[in-house]
Structure 1
Amino acid sequence: MEIASEVIESMLVKFKSERKWTLQAIEQLTDEDIMWSSNADSNSIANLVAHIHGCVHSRIETIFRDIPDTRNRDREFERGLKMSNEQAYGMTKEAFDIIIQYLEHLRAKPDLLLSQPFIERPPLTHSQVNNETTVLNLMIAMVREVHYHTGQIIYAAKIRKGQLTWRYD
């Protein structure tokens, strides 16, 4: 399973990097910045954080921690969603920690990468994958989803603050 291990390691590096840069951006924002959106049709950082957290809950916590899917996707995109900087930071950190813990679990059991964890579960909703998906396909979808939205978070933070300060440690 050498290739499976390489894929898992690559994803771990990617998600750890995304966590680092996204949390650094959020640290530099005020509560007002977190709830700001550029127009009525755009998502705020609060919306994006809630959405990332919701995706992680419905796609990873349900299989990794066997927690029932209680996600309310519509709420993630409510206009005027209230969230403090502290809440945004905590939800972002929690979402990334769950992803990274799951990947570390897969690192120990790389044969699970081709398993189909949703095959016996209720149909997935609001997902780009179906119940026949493999863990590999699920995690590739998570890389795309999370990267897309963290890019939006960092872009919105730059719009609000201009220059952001980065730590490269």
Structure 2
Amino acid sequence: MNIGENYLNIVTNRFMEMKKLGDQTFHQLDDEQLYWSKHEESNSIAVIVKHVGGNMVSRWSDFLSTDGEKPTRNRDLEFDDSYLPREELIRIWEHGWQILFTTLADLTEQDLLKKVKIRGEDHLVMAAIERQISHYSYHVGQIVYIGKLLKTSEWQSLSIPKGQSDQFNETMLEKHKKC
């Protein structure tokens, strides 16, 4: 496998890990918690989902051939905190990820050095991918943090639970000794 194929596999796996964190957070929250926000200037998980979904559809649809900021996107509407049922929020979330993963699966090593536009600005495909990794990890981190804040002691850790680092490290070292 060449460097381009490895890179595409690595970023696909990173995006999958991000999506999984969001999915696991949604499963721990009730519908009301999806709309909680600290104050009117902060975003609820529902708003973040609408924004991330809208961004994904815009950025990853016709990725190599059209500007990543589609004229049909209404970014400001993504930040409207009007109620949508959980099923609709999940549909928006899943649809965005599906477009992203389909686009990544279609990219080749040769595509990585091509240029794409975002709001008229040229970006190498690799730079555009890295831009989205940064953007989505920022928002998924917000989703997880809000979930953890709301669930307090009922939160089921999505990584290594506090106080269990040594045990986790030992388990990992044992696992990899056998390989």
The two structures have a TM-score, normalised by structure 1, of 0.81
Question: How far is the alpha carbon of 1:28 from its aligned partner?
Answer: 2.2
Does residue 44 of structure 1 match 2:35? no
Contact 1:27 1:89 in 2 (8 A): no
Match of 1:165 in 2: 156
In 1, Cα distance between equivalents of 2:72 and 2:42: 25
Partner letter of residue 148 of structure 1?
Y
- The structure-2 alpha-carbon separation of the partners of 1:88 and 1:60, relative to structure 1 and needing over 3 Å to count, comes to same
Q: String of CA shifts for 1:79-115, please: whole Å, max 9, x gaps.
A: x332222222222122222211111111xx2211111
Match of 1:98 in 2: 99
Choose the corresponding residue for 1:138, options 123, 128, 149.
Answer: 128
Contact 1:116 1:131 in 2 (8 A): no
Q: String of CA shifts for 1:14-33, please: whole Å, max 9, x gaps.
A: 01111112111112222211
The count of residues paired between Structure 1 and Structure 2 equals 156
Match of 2:72 in 1: 70
Aligned CA RMSD, in angstroms, stands at 2.4
The two structures have a TM-score, normalised by structure 2, of 0.77
In 2, Cα distance between equivalents of 1:57 and 1:131: 18
Partner letter of residue 54 of structure 1?
G
Secondary structure of 1:132's counterpart equals strand
Match of 2:109 in 1: 110
Q: String of CA shifts for 1:19-62, please: whole Å, max 9, x gaps.
A: 11211111222221111111111001111011111111221114
Question: Which is greater in Rg?
Answer: 2
Q: Which structure has the highest strand share of the two?
A: 2
**Structure 1: tracts of 5 or more residues without a match:** 119-123
Percent identity reads 28
Comparing 29-38 with 64-73, greater Cα deviation is found at 64-73
- The structure-2 alpha-carbon separation of the partners of 1:31 and 1:89, relative to structure 1 and needing over 3 Å to count, comes to same
In 1, Cα distance between equivalents of 2:48 and 2:5: 30
**Structure 2: tracts of 5 or more residues without a match:** 160-179
Match of 2:167 in 1: none
Question: How far is the alpha carbon of 1:74 from its aligned partner?
Answer: 0.7
